[in-house]
């Protein structure tokens, strides 16, 4: 059963440290999304890529967040420097890009910034 | 314009009962309306989805009802089971391949 794989599952670090989250989309999927889930804001889009090109990153704080797809099998989300308000669960989702193809989510990275 | 409003925030139902969760949207360009189910520690998983050219879609015990003129859609879970206890999110997008706008979620508890 194909799955989106996210690493690490949990990350605890101190304020000011760099955080890198990784996502392996389902093989063959050409669309990758990054979402953030918090109690206050719910699930919100940070960025998304199609064929490795960024299409929308308007939900991402540009001064500290960056998202890339070095190749078709890896997407990364970096925070530098991290702040306590970045504490959340970060989900990656991938899709095949067709009109009837749903997004499949990974199990997320639970990030805690102390 | 991009909001999707979901209610109720929480719902408690007896085993065998019907669970109903409602959502309303504003952006008339939305044309794909999925429901996701999320268990603790897991990512959202697609449950069922509908497009606005149909008013109802049923898959097993799960039914989406869609009212295009009212810009509302709802999830009905028939014969609710304790294993259905989870958080449910409605969502909307312009095409399924584009970013989802999520509702705020409904925590469903089905009592045995």
Neighbour-count burial for A47-75, b at 16+ CB within 10 Å, e otherwise: bbbbeeeeeebeebeeeebebebeeeeeb
What average pLDDT does range A8-16 have in this prediction? 97
How many whole angstroms separate alpha carbon B42 and alpha carbon A93? 12
Q: How close is the nearest chain B Cα to the Cα of A107, in Å?
A: 4
Q: How close is the nearest chain B Cα to the Cα of A18, in Å?
A: 24
Tell me which residue of B36, B68, B37 sits closest to B49, measured CA to CA.
B36
Chains A, B: CB contacts under 8 A, how many?
A: 56
Q: How close is the nearest chain A Cα to the Cα of B91, in Å?
A: 10
Nearest beta carbon to residue A102 from set B49, B89, B105: B49
Q: How is residue A70 written in tokens?
A: 């070095």
Which chain A residue's Cα is nearest to B31? A99
**pLDDT value of position A49:** 92
Tell me which residue of B13, B3, B2, B66 sits closest to B35, measured CA to CA.
B66
Kindly give the confidence (pLDDT) of every residue in chain B, 112 residues in length, as a single tens digit, with 9 standing for 90 and above.
568 999 999 999 999 999 999 999 999 999 999 999 999 999 999 999 999 899 999 999 999 999 999 999 999 999 999 999 999 999 998 876 678 899 999 999 999 9
Q: Which residues contact B52 (CB under 8 A, 6 or more apart)?
A: B30, B31, B33, B66, B68
């Amino acid at each position: 059963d194909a799955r989106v794989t996210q690493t690490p599952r949990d990350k605890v670090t101190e304020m000011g440290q760099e955080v890198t989250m990784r996502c392996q989309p389902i093989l063959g999927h050409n669309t990758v999304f990054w979402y953030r889930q918090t109690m206050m804001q719910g699930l919100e889009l940070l960025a998304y890529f199609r064929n490795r090109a960024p299409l929308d990153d308007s939900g991402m704080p540009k001064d500290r967040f960056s998202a890339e797809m070095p190749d078709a099998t890896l997407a990364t989300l970096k925070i530098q420097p991290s702040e306590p308000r970045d504490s959340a669960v970060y989900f990656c989702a991938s899709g095949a890009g067709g009109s009837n193809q749903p997004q499949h989510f990974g199990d997320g990275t639970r990030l805690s910034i102390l | 314009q991009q909001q999707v409003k979901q209610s109720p925030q929480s719902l408690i139902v007896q085993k065998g009962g019907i669970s109903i969760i409602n959502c309303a949207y504003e952006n008339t360009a939305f044309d794909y309306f999925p429901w996701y189910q999320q268990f603790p520690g897991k990512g959202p998983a697609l449950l069922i989805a509908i497009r606005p050219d149909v008013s109802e879609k049923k898959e097993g015990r799960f039914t989406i009802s869609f009212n295009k003129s009212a810009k509302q859609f709802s999830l009905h879970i028939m014969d609710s089971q304790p294993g259905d206890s989870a958080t449910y999110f409605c969502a909307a997008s312009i095409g399924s391949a584009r970013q989802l706008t999520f509702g705020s979620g409904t925590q469903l508890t089905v009592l045995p």
